[in-house]
Amino acid sequence: MSTVPTPTQAHVPVLVDEVVAALAIVPGETHVDGTFGAGGYTRAMLGAGAGRVVGFDRDPDSIANGPALVPDARLILVQERFSQMDRVLAERGHAPVDGITLDIGVSSMQLDQAERGFSFRDDGPLDMRMSQAGETAAEFLNHADEAEIARVIREYGEEPRARTVAKAIVKARPLTRTGELAAVIRKALGHHAGMKTDPATRTFQAIRIHLNAELEELEQGLRAAEQALRPGGRLAVVTFHSLEDRIVKRFLKDRSGAAPSGSRHRPLAAAGPAPTFSSVPKPVGPSEAELARNPRARSARLRSAVRTDAPAWRHKEKAA
């Protein structure tokens, strides 16, 4: 098992003050940290007076090291995907809850461990599995056909030259190390010192999102949060790129009744389901001070909302 940062090394999560403000924690409340990681948001929630925090993470390292990272009896750790939180919370008698926080994507803890294979900056095995189970990045890249690799890179990395990268990957197979993959991508796309963004960034992101089904997990997790929050409960979601942010934006727009409801060309056929969220402020980004402390925060966006007392929508249910 790989090691995670000790409590003194644990990173401070992005937008933590803004997240705590959006959660409006009342002492004694039950909150959920759906992406526990190194426990940064959990520490902040407990420090703000939460009576109990249920921390979810699919990564067994995070769960194993959680008690050392956050040595607090008010923390309950669960090794599970946050998309399953509604079921798990109900089974354990913790539902409904007062607040839910989600920090989407790979954690700094995972990026900083070369042996986990998430980063192109430090050489390590081509892994990228958050749960440390299932297909590895090496297995995917060495067995998928060129068209499938190109689709993943284009769809999840928004890489305009996805076909060029996929062709280079297939030609270079077998690949086993992150350093090998990064070198192949850089050669295919062109790379020189001083470039603002490493050419490998989009492809590494795409492969990671694909392997961990991150966008599907986010969509399911938002629906799970809708189920698990009490009326008046608060939801806070931090995203780091446009694919994630669009999903959260669309969900809150639909669930708050802000989605278009018809026109003279497409009249409203029937009243849709009642809004399940209200008080949806504009997204919040990092301050200049935070960017100076942590450049990784530059693309972070926080979207938040408050749960109404309307029943959760059924999976396929849409606003009219």
At residue 265, the pLDDT reads: 56
User: Which residues make up the CATH 3.40.50.150 domain(s) of the chain?
Assistant: 16-109+214-307
Q: CA 246 to CA 156: how far, in whole Å?
A: 13
- Binding site residue list for S-adenosyl-L-methionine: 39-41, 57, 82, 103, 110
- Binding site residue list: 39-41, 57, 82, 103, 110
Q: For domain 16-109+214-307, give the fold.
A: Rossmann fold (3.40.50)
pLDDT cut 70: percent of the chain above it: 90
Q: CA 222 to CA 91: how far, in whole Å?
A: 19
CB 52 within 8 A of CB 120: no
Q: Which residues, including other chains, have CB under 8 Å from residue 223's CB and lie 6 or more apart? A: 312, 313, 315
Q: CA 241 to CA 19: how far, in whole Å?
A: 18
The dotted CATH code for 132-211 is 1.10.150.170
CB 97 within 8 A of CB 86: no
* pLDDT for 270 beyond 60: no
At residue 276, the pLDDT reads: 98
Q: CA 233 to CA 98: how far, in whole Å?
A: 4
Q: What is the pLDDT of residues 237-259, one digit of tens each?
A: 999 999 999 999 999 999 999 87
At residue 261, the pLDDT reads: 55
C-alpha distances in Å from residue 41, one per residue of 62, 177, 211, 216: 13, 32, 25, 23
At residue 319, the pLDDT reads: 56
Q: What is the pLDDT of residues 207-243, one digit of tens each?
A: 999 999 999 999 999 999 999 999 999 999 999 999 9
User: Which residues make up the CATH 1.10.150.170 domain(s) of the chain?
Assistant: 132-211
At residue 211, the pLDDT reads: 97
3-state secondary structure the chain: CCCCCCCCCCCCCCCHHHHHHHHCCCCCCEEEECCCCCCHHHHHHHHCCCCEEEEEECCHHHHHHHHHHCCCCCEEEEECCHHHHHHHHHHCCCCCEEEEEEECCCCHHHHCCHHHCCCCCCCCECCCCCCCCCCCHHHHHHHCCHHHHHHHHHHHHCCCCHHHHHHHHHHHCCCCEHHHHHHHHHHHHCCCCCCCCCCCHHHHHHHHHHHCCHHHHHHHHHHHHHHHEEEEEEEEEEECCHHHHHHHHHHHHHHCCCCCCCCCCCCCCCCCCCCCEECCCCCECCCHHHHHHCHHHHHCEEEEEEECCCCCCCCCCCCC
CB 210 within 8 A of CB 156: yes
Q: CA 107 to CA 102: how far, in whole Å?
A: 12
Q: What is the mean pLDDT of the chain?
A: 91
CB 62 within 8 A of CB 37: yes
* pLDDT for 115 beyond 90: no
Cis peptide bond upstream of 311, omega within 30: no
Q: CA 14 to CA 49: how far, in whole Å?
A: 20
pLDDT cut 90: percent of the chain above it: 79
